[in-house]
Amino acid sequence: MLQGKRILVGVSGSIAAYKSALLVRLLVKAGAEVQVIMTEGAKAFITPLTLATLSKRPALSAFVSNPATGEWTNHVELGLWADALVVAPASARTLARCAHALCDDLLSAVYLSAKCPVFFAPAMDLDMYRHPATRDNLNRLQSFGNQLIDAEFGELASGLVGEGRLAEPETIVQTLVRHFAKNSVVAGKRVLITAGPTQEPIDPVRYISNHSTGKMGLAIANAFAQAGADVTLVCGPTHLPTPDASIHRVDVRSAQQMYEATAEAFPKADLLILNAAVADYTPLHPAEKKIKKKEAQFTIELGKTVDIAATLGSQKRPGQLLMGFALETDNEAQNALDKLERKNLDWIVLNSLRDAGAGFGHDTNKITVMDRGGAVQVFDLKTKDEVAADLLALVVEKWGNEVKV
């Protein structure tokens, strides 16, 4: 959502200015073009060189950039250039400047010239943050249509504990992502995702499972949630937390439970992504009590589990899209294509255990994506967040083409 977006980052005089370095880095990493504007007070806490290096642009602070030649910084042009202005940290003084149009520094002049959405992320001590004058300025700025990224609760530079901490850079980036997602083709789409392993009980203390951690599925759920989708995540046993508060998570254990939860949500889904590593077989007669170690050999009778992809693929209505995953060890491409056809999928995402860094347990993955039209896309080894972004881009392209038609 931030790829190619032009973001102005205003940095004012606050001890929290050190966090602006990470904010700039995250925005640049997300593909945004970043221009930093600093107040004079900000320079006491972080150097222009640091922010210029991270943003790959000079950090601006003066109206006249070169007194010898009279070269000036065009605040009007900056205000027109940006897709968003985020002031982080926004000190009490900067909030007052902008709220009352004092326009006595470059940042406040750019704010008054901005035609784009503006976000203020306050940072100050708790009593300053609570003061009626500060609250009045915040309310005033919001009444102009600006958006507030609330300060967080925690230990402050004064040693006191309370509200006033600058929102974490990740939170600020997520706020910007959500803003730009509102007008994307993903916004409001209902996306159903399965993730993690299943556990098939042998007795009350043992089960059959696999090495899936759920990392890939949760990364995909996070990517679609941040793009504005209404995400339901049906998740097998994993220690990983839900990455985005907007995700509706349904925790399950067995293959049967995963099927039932997925089938219930499927009729309303625009897209189903089947990333979970679902057991193909389950014990037919789980013991009610712990099985004691007695026999030299022990046999467990297994039965097939429901094939979630094939079952729901056969029920797919016009307009629904299905994406499946195939983890293979041999004859990878043919096995994946067979699965694509048999299960009526629109895409199949192939992993091979023969690729270093791919498969279960890694923070990286290497995928090949095949679609029903015969297209094959081979991706390099990437982090699972980057892989999720690539899959999101494929779906966005598909939905975007449908909108054009």
Instruction: Tell me the pairing of strands 271-274 and 376-378.
Output: unpaired
The first and second tokens of residue 155, run together, are 């230990």
Let me know if 183 is a catalytic residue.
Answer: no
CA distances from 146 to 22, 92, 111 (A): 23, 16, 10
> How many residues in total does the chain contain?
405
Return phi, psi of residue 403, to 5°.
-65, -40
- Known binding residue 290? Answer is yes
Max intra-chain CA distance, the chain: 93
CA distance 75 to 44: 23
- Known binding residue 339? Answer is yes
Q: Residue 248, exposed/middle/buried by CB under 10 A (0-12, 13-18, 19+)?
A: middle
Asked if 362 and 338 count as a contact pair (C-beta separation under 8 A), the reply is no
Q: Is 230 helix (H, G, I), strand (E, B) or coil?
A: strand
- Known binding residue 382? Answer is no
Of the listed 146, 210, 222, 335, which one is catalytic? 210
The residues facing 248 across adjacent strands are: 232
Looking at the annotation, which residues are catalytic?
Answer: 210
Binding residues for CTP: 280, 290, 325, 339, 343
Binding residues: 280, 290, 325, 339, 343
